[in-house]
Amino acid sequence: MPRRHGLDLAAPGTTVCVVDDGAITYLGGQRSDRRLRLRHHARATELSVIRRRISAWAGGNRLPAHTVVDLQLAVGEAVANGVEHAYGADASRPDADAGATVEVELELDGSPSRPVVAVTVTDHGRWRPVPVDPGHRGRGLALIRELSRRMQVSMSGQGTRVCFEIPLDRLQHSATG
């Protein structure tokens, strides 16, 4: 199993696709394109790998292009928040603790008439207070809220979990917000 860009979770019924040097490899027990689970080191450099994996998974499920863009943006913001706010600036250093991870799970869900991609992004760090003057920053959760529906953020001593749904149909999103 390639480990160069992250640690992959492969549970039965889960497809984990690894994009390594342009080659797509599917790992796991049963082949099921309904779910993608990833675990990566909490480093900003992992974002491009996560985006490629999302793109490969979405392509295998024939998701609309606008959904893929929304997924990549929203998941990218949630992962970036986990890296920066849960682990701090030190997590992005190449020599940072390998235990600092971010987990991403995508699953096709919803009813046939209202399909969605359910997303969960989890970190295991401690949330850091928002600075008094965030400058031009601090818009990640607002962006996720705009691109998705049913967004929830829950924090505990074990980390932070961000859950949201990206509708496959843009009309569905605009009608339900």
171 in any annotated domain: yes
113 in any annotated domain: yes
Task: Report the C-alpha gap between 84 and 115 in whole angstroms.
Answer: 31
7 in any annotated domain: no
Q: What is the DSSP letter of 13?
A: T
pLDDT of residue 170: 64
* Burial track 38-60 (b if 16+ CB lie within 10 A, e otherwise): bebbbbeebbebbbbbbbbbbee
What is the overall mean pLDDT for the chain?
74
Q: How many domains does the chain have?
A: 1
Give yes or no for residue 8 having a pLDDT over 80: no
Tokens of 71: 């997924």
140 in any annotated domain: no
The identity of residue 58, as a single letter, is: A
136 in any annotated domain: no
Give yes or no for residue 91 having a pLDDT over 60: no
Task: Report the C-alpha gap between 124 and 19 in whole angstroms.
Answer: 25
Residues 6+ away with beta carbon under 8 Å from 108: 33, 34, 35, 61, 115, 116, 117, 118
What is the rounded average pLDDT of the residues 132-161?
A: 84
pLDDT of residue 139: 78
Domain span at residue 92? 16-126+146-176
pLDDT of residue 111: 84
137 in any annotated domain: no
Give yes or no for residue 117 having a pLDDT over 80: yes
1 in any annotated domain: no
Q: In this predicted model, which residue has the larger pLDDT, 156 or 6?
A: 156
Give yes or no for residue 14 having a pLDDT over 50: no
pLDDT in tens, 27-40: 443 334 789 999 98
pLDDT of residue 166: 94
Give yes or no for residue 109 having a pLDDT over 80: yes
Q: What is the DSSP letter of 127?
A: P
CATH number at residue 64: 3.30.565.10
Q: What is the DSSP letter of 22?
A: T
For the entire predicted model, the pTM comes to 0.72
What is the rounded average pLDDT of the residues 42-71?
A: 90
Confidence of residue 131 (pLDDT cuts 50, 70, 90): low
48 in any annotated domain: yes
